């Protein structure tokens, strides 16, 4: 029997219940190919009910653990010294617990959620009920083996969902979680602990590609979206596919993450949209001047202000007494201490962080509006009016052929002039990672603009929006370059850098767009359709290889010390397809070589940002370093027992039980659009972050026409039939035409509809 079918005895008992007792929540779920649930409900509450139920079927252990995390209960269930990943770095459970118990303000979250209106409230309520319904149905013995018998698998409340949403919003602060949880006045025992540090640039894996093509460049004159978000392959930020319908009110398909009661990326009958992580910053640090007479007070405009103390208690397992700690906050936000990054609390100085997305309950309301939008104008209105999108660009197209790129998020309202005037001597040192302002002057706090939903937010009119009919694209560089023909005028640097060097992945994006639309090497350009979009998305070309390989081969030929390496690279097709040979050798080489100073003979030129810098230097000291890096890469492969010309799919793979499924795509630093970041495992590397839910959505007269694939498959449960099916699909560069509409859903149904009520 399918695990998705209600046990017969329980179903019979439900049908025997009076209608009034079982119709508060009501949803029908049809699973189609690859386990995608299509949830139909008569109202918003029922929609959330079906989503919560279906999500728990596929992801129970994962999300149950996440509810324990955001409740600050990891030490209780997993021990205080074990670690979990928050944001992009491992954090010990005790620090994680103190952070969440201090950062989560439930009264504020409840008020914020209530302000989002009836649809959001009902959907959230339904999600909680649906999750709990599945937990009751399966009983303790039906819980997946990975978490069976664990105390942290429990019914949830709306508060659990609010906590989880808050964690998803405050991404920037998560990188500081350990520093917030362990901040203590100078001289205290806690202050003597080894210093933590901000994650390095190489530790922060952010990504995504998004394209929207308008009627001027598409084959049918309608809009088309390619969404290629780069998200984690494991954990609560894995995407999960769903289709949610409330007749007459909502009909939307796409993906969400843990706790999402509706798709946050996807399409309806008239609009498709995707998101990419923005280059804008959503929090700032403030450097405090400590009151000489009191290390827990600070000076603002010459006046002393006492810090606010909060005593936090964290429950421990067994008979151990709860751990308690006093944490401190200021008018700007909590104290943060990361000595290894220069953020110390001493007799003269301390640091606090203000997070723009703290308490942001507007995001779900924004996505409700986007899900109901009939054109990109309505998408734009939703994004601009709510300022609820937390930290991603919004890229959309509609059936009319209009496209939109809105880099409009929850950004501190800071002008370039103010950031300069409010800098401290340490600001330049932190500039690559954080914006640091002088907290000793009240005038250096975020400016308040009229009409914003939260004081201190930058109004939408000061952020970047492109509305066009040709194309917009983003690969995580700033708003400055969304269309190669029309760079945006420079805005506040809090929104990202303008008129500066672009990443190789962004440059590759625009180069490949130009080749597709305008032609190359005697081949004419094409109008964009599904076939062209698929070819662009999974071409797996490496711009780094295109720029460097000919010169590298010219350098290494005839040199005995690198003869094997040179021969292996001679045979590489300069792509990251599963059958490409030599790609791993180049990957390791390029990681080191790309850091060589003055690597390019032609420097960056703001008038030609797509094609500069270029022309790799292969003489003098640079040549010596290049050959040394190639030798080091060769030695590493020899040490790992991997052939220099190993097939890429034999090196990069996704373990699924006893299978090793070949995975195409490569590192963004090598200029590969289809980005995969991988960790070393015995015999190769395995993706942990990268291409995830990939969608290509256009429109015909009847509605959306969507091809998609979820690279890591619908469920992380090894017992699920949908643990590896789409991973095979992705490996083979195949796509699934998503069924949208009653007839197509019925034709693709994997079983009978299941109706749940209570």
Report, as residue numbers or ranges, the catalytic residues.
Answer: 208
DSSP state of 229: -
β-bridge partners, 250: 246
Question: Is 442 within 8 Å of 385 (Cβ atoms)?
Answer: no
> Tokens at residue 162, please?
């609010």
613 preceded by a cis bond (ω within 30 of 0) = yes
Strand order in 704-710's β-sheet?
471-474, 209-213, 224-228, 693-699, 704-710, 736-737
Is beta strand 89-92 parallel, antiparallel or unpaired with respect to 308-314?
unpaired
Contact call for residues 197 and 104 (beta carbons, < 8 A): no
Cα–Cα distance between 55 and 135 in angstroms, integer?
Answer: 11
Cα 686 to Cα 556: distance, rounded to the nearest angstrom? 30
Residue 346: helix, strand or coil by DSSP? Answer: coil
With beta carbons less than 8 A apart as the criterion, state whether 230 and 240 touch: no
Backbone dihedral angles phi then psi of residue 288, each to the nearest 5 degrees: -100, 145
Q: Fill in the DSSP letter of residue 619.
A: S
β pairing state of 283-291 and 436-438: parallel
Q: Can you tell me the distance from the alpha carbon of 489 to that of 481, in angstroms, rounded to the nearest whole number?
A: 10
Instruction: Check: CB of residue 491 under 8 Å from CB of residue 482.
Output: no
| CA–CA gap between residue 296 and residue 43 (Å, rounded) | 52
Give the C-alpha separation, 186 to 247, whole Å: 60
CA distance 53 to 350: 46
What is d(CA 129, CA 26) in angstroms, rounded to the nearest whole number? 11
Residue at token pair 């190639």 = 630
Helix axes 362-372, 118-142, angle to 10 degrees: 100
Among 462, 461, 457, 464, smallest CA distance to 481 is for 464
The whole-angstrom separation of Cα 358 and Cα 104 is: 9
User: To the nearest 10°, the Cα dihedral for 534, 535, 537, 542?
Assistant: 170
Nearest-angstrom CA–CA distance, 467 and 214? 10
- For residue 540, which phi and psi values (nearest 5 degrees)? 60, 30
Gap between the Cα atoms of 600 and 612, Å rounded:
9
Q: Both tokens of residue 751?
A: 């079983």
Q: How many helices (H) and strands (E) does the chain have?
A: 23, 32
Q: How far is CA 353 from CA 72, 94, 696, in A?
A: 21, 21, 39
Where are the extended beta strands (E) located within 538-692? 600-602, 614-616, 653-656, 659-662, 676-681, 684-691
Question: Left if phi > 0, otherwise alpha if psi is -120 to 50, otherwise beta: which for 451?
Answer: left
């Amino acid at each position: 029997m399918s695990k998705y079918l209600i046990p017969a005895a329980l179903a019979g008992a439900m049908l025997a219940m009076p209608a009034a007792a079982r119709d508060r929540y009501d949803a029908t779920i049809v699973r189609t190919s690859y386990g995608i649930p299509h949830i139909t409900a008569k109202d918003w509450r029922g929609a959330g009910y079906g989503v919560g139920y279906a999500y728990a079927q596929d992801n129970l252990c994962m999300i149950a653990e996440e509810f324990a995390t955001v409740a600050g209960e990891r030490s209780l269930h997993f021990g205080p010294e074990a670690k979990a990943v928050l944001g992009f770095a491992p954090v010990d459970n005790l620090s994680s617990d103190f952070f969440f118990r201090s950062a989560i303000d439930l009264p504020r979250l409840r008020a914020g959620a209530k302000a989002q209106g009836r649809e959001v409230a009902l959907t959230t309520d339904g999600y909680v009920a649906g999750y709990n319904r599945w937990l009751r149905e399966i009983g303790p013995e039906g819980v997946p083996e990975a978490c069976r018998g664990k105390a942290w698998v429990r019914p949830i409340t709306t508060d659990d969902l609010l906590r989880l949403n808050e964690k998803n919003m405050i991404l920037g602060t998560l990188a500081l979680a350990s520093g917030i949880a362990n901040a203590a006045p100078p001289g205290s025992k806690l202050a003597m602990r080894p210093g933590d540090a901000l994650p390095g640039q190489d530790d922060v894996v952010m990504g995504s590609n998004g394209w929207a093509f308008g009627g001027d460049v598409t084959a049918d004159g309608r809009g088309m979206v390619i969404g290629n978000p780069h998200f984690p392959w494991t954990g609560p930020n894995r995407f999960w596919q769903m289709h949610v319908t409330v007749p007459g009110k909502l009909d939307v398909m796409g993906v969400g993450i843990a706790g999402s009661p509706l798709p946050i990326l996807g399409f309806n009958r008239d609009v498709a949209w995707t998101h990419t992580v923005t280059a804008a910053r959503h929090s700032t640090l403030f450097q405090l001047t400590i009151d000489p007479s009191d290390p827990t007070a600070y000076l603002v405009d010459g006046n002393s202000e006492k810090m606010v103390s909060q005593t936090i208690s964290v429950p421990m397992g067994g008979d151990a007494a709860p751990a308690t700690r006093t944490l401190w906050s200021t008018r700007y936000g909590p104290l943060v201490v990361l000595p290894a990054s220069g953020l110390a609390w001493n007799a003269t100085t301390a640091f606090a962080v203000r997070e723009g997305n703290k308490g942001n309950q507007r995001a779900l309301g924004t996505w409700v509006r986007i899900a109901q939008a009939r054109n990109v104008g309505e998408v734009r209105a939703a994004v601009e009016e709510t300022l609820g999108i937390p930290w991603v660009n919004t890229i959309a197209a509609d059936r009319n052929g209009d496209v939109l790129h809105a880099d409009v998020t929850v950004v501190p309202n800071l002008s370039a002039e103010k950031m300069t005037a409010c800098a401290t001597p340490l600001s330049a040192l932190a500039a690559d990672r954080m914006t640091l302002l002088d907290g000793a002057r009240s005038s250096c706090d975020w400016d308040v603009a009229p009409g914003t939903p939260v004081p201190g937010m930058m109004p939408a009119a000061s952020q970047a929006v492109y509305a066009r009919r040709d194309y917009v694209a983003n690969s995580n560089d700033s708003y400055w370059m969304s269309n190669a023909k029309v760079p945006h005028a420079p805005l506040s640097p809090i929104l990202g850098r303008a008129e500066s060097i672009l990443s190789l992945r962004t440059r590759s994006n625009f180069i490949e767009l130009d080749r597709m639309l305008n032609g190359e090497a005697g081949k004419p350009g094409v109008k964009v359709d599904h076939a062209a979009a698929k070819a662009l998305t999974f071409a797996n070309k490496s711009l780094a290889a295109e720029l460097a390989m000919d010169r590298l081969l010219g350098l290494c030929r005839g040199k005995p010390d690198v003869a094997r390496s040179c021969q292996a690279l001679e045979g590489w097709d300069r792509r990251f397809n599963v059958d490409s040979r030599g790609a791993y050798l180049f990957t390791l080489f390029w990681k080191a070589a790309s850091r060589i100073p003055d690597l390019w003979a032609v420097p960056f030129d703001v008038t030609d940002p797509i094609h500069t810098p270029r022309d790799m230097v292969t003489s003098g000291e640079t040549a010596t370093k290049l050959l040394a890096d190639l030798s080091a890469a060769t030695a590493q492969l020899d040490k790992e027992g991997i052939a220099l010309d190993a097939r890429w799919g034999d090196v990069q793979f996704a373990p699924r039980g006893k299978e090793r499924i070949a995975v195409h795509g490569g590192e963004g630093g090598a200029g590969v659009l289809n980005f995969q970041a991988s960790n070393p495992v015995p015999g190769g590397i395995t993706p942990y972050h990268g291409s995830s839910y990939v969608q290509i959505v256009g429109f015909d007269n009847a509605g959306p026409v969507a091809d998609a694939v979820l690279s890591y498959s619908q469920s992380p449960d090894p017992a699920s039939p949908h643990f590896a099916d789409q991973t095979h699909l992705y490996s083979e560069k195949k796509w699934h035409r998503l069924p949208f509409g009653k007839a197509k859903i019925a034709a693709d149904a994997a079983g009978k509809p299941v109706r749940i009520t209570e």
